Structure 1
Amino acid sequence: MRIDENWDDCFIYIADLEYPSAKFNTQVQTTRTFVLHKEYTKDEFDLLMTETFGANIVVIHFDSWSEGHLLKIKKRGR
């Protein structure tokens, strides 16, 4: 069995993000890990974050951490 039958290549990123907190009426900073199917430049990653989280998110720091394998989701018979 070949690896690519069950696994996709992925890219692992670490990002420091800042976003507004309505609950505390302040800006919140957090660090998150993202596992994505393709390589991103800083500009592409910024755009991805605003498209998926909203325009209020700011990417403070972005780093490509590693590459890996992401398990493919397959429909299995019962």
Structure 2
Amino acid sequence: MGISIWQLLIILAIVLVLFGAKRLRNIGSDLGGAIKGFKSAVKEEEAKPTEEEKKLAQKEGENVFDVVADEKKAEEKKDKA
């Protein structure tokens, strides 16, 4: 059916006897640090595409600017001639 509270307490007592409280505390802190590291890595990966998109948008803007500048230069050459 399900695990009762008494069964969970017995399992916890066995784990404490096998590993000891100090070892369990170290395992818990290591596990917490690993979870934090994983979450921060996921956030960094989500942020990367937005930075790349910004760079692409800047490059596209530069390309448009260059095209406009080239058109102006061509018009100036025609006016001088």
Q: How would you bin the TM-score normalised by the shorter chain?
A: under 0.3
Q: Which has the higher helix share?
A: 2
* Rg comparison, structure with higher value: 2
Q: Please give the TM-score of this superposition, normalised by the length of structure 1.
A: 0.21
Q: Please give the TM-score of this superposition, normalised by the length of structure 2.
A: 0.20
Q: Which has the higher strand share?
A: 1
